[in-house]
Chain A
């Protein structure tokens, strides 16, 4: 496996410098703490982050109408509390800071530690934990895994637009929790992630196989089967989301089709077309659609489908609101 890198220890630093080189017209860069941020605004700041390797998440979502800061950890490893503390300090204008965290044990623990330290120093800080992954934990209980995956980007967008409108920290926390409950995501891989440090695939998959329900760090899925077509993947993911939502004809949804890192846009659009036909067959009212590489599993060849049940038409306005974040 070849990677366009120089030194696996310096991957994140060099990526951040390159990102800043390309986007210095709209973002600032704190190199010491690996923070991409923008200048303070007189409204609640949204801070997200996590391990690197999920680009454009989360640095690509720093921009007007989305995040105020993204804190990057090492590859697939969350940032330290001191980095998160610095991101809170850099962005808090006094209106408060909302942390948007993907539901992985280490991420939640480290962001909570930073939150508590900054609360003790007088900052208003709260946290929304995104847990949209509806693959399964294991085959004994079939409980859903509930980690945070691509749906996190929808939370960034909806809350970003609401924050810019002047919503209070309390309101944003409630909105974030409500929106999160309505998001389900399921992913599928046709090739595993292979990280440069160890060159070993995150799971074994033969050339003819597809793996349903994989996670963004190469977590195992729930079923491998012979791969035939994009349609096969779209049907499987839609059927599983349907079983959870138990939707009725006329229900309103927004859709995010997400490439997992090594998936050509042509394949993403072909898959999106299959989703279009299937959701039309279900007679759902699809009010917003986004297709692209938004939250990746480094170099996984695969795709995820996120849906959000729209309970409030305002959420669609927020999804459509302008932003200059490069990753959206």
Chain B
């Protein structure tokens, strides 16, 4: 049977809702499928177990919110949307970080965020007609993406006390400052 992405999304949303009030370890596949009014077997058509489901959420939702927007929105707006997304899903993620069996969140988010940083750098370098070595860009993007993931994780663990707007604004300013430094442009004519 060919799997349905929308069915996966429905199952994922149900797990996320349950995780707002219940620890992940206490939620069974039966609980999830009862809550979304689908047959238990349907779960196993789409996922091996609840750990695979959790991993799918990390992978799919970060892709949906980052990679799928790279050709549609400016990098600044993608950062804004991303902080909104994590803010809205903070209870789920706070709970998910407690699951010690996996750490794929960091892996998926940092990979996708690295792509976003590369886009931001490339956009700004294009606008300023400056060139930077690809290796240097790659190292910088890695550095920032790991910093970003750590920052988001800590922000969520501390219940998002700073607003998503403030977080996005600081990240944006950081990217701009970094680019000004490496291109030697202190006049601020980078966008």
Contact = CB atoms under 8 A, between A and B. Distances in A.
Check if A and B associate.
yes
Given A231-B4, A239-B68, A277 B10 contact: yes
B6 A142 contact: no
Contacts of A141: 74
Interface in B6-59: 6, 9-10, 13
A216 to B, nearest CB: 19
B128 interface: no
A223 interface: yes
A231 B72 contact: no
Interface string A130-166: 0000001001011000000000000000000000000
Contact of B81 (A222, A243, A277): A243
B89 interface: no
Interface string A222-252: 1100000101101110011001000000000
A142 B72 contact: yes
Given A277-B10, A281-B10, A231 B5 contact: yes
Interface string B172-185: 00000000000000
B71 A222 contact: yes
A236 B68 contact: yes
B98 interface: no
Given A142-B74, A142-B77, A281-B13, A231 B6 contact: yes
Chain B contact residues (Cβ within 8 angstroms of A): what range?
10 to 19
B97 interface: no
A213 interface: yes
B72 A235 contact: no
B5 A235 contact: yes
Interface in B63-111: 64, 68-69, 71-74, 77, 81
A277 B5 CA distance: 11
A201 to B, nearest CB: 21
Contact of B72 (A213, A278, A281): A213
Majority SS at the chain A contact face: helix
B129 to A, nearest CB: 13
A274 interface: yes
Given A236-B68, A281-B13, A243 B73 contact: yes
Nearest to B75: A142
Given A231-B4, A243-B81, A142 B73 contact: yes
A314 B4 CA distance: 37
Contacts of A278: 6, 9
B57 to A, nearest CB: 14
A236 B69 CA distance: 10
A277 B6 contact: yes
Contact of A223 (B9, B64, B72, B74): B72
A232 B13 contact: no
A136 B10 contact: no
A234 B9 CA distance: 13
Given A142-B74, A243-B73, A281 B6 contact: yes
A281 B9 contact: yes
A243 B6 contact: no
Contacts of A223: 71-72
Nearest to A136: B72
Contacts of B71: 136, 139, 222-223
Contacts of B64: 235, 239
Contacts of B5: 229, 231-232, 235
A136 B13 CA distance: 30
A141 to B, nearest CB: 8
5 contacts: A142-B74, A213-B72, A232-B5, A235-B5, A281-B9
Interface of B: 4-6, 9-10, 13, 64, 68-69, 71-74, 77, 81
Given A235-B64, A281-B13, 4 more contacts: A136-B71, A142-B74, A222-B72, A277-B6
Nearest 5 pairs between A and B by C-beta? A223-B71, A222-B71, A142-B74, A277-B6, A231-B5
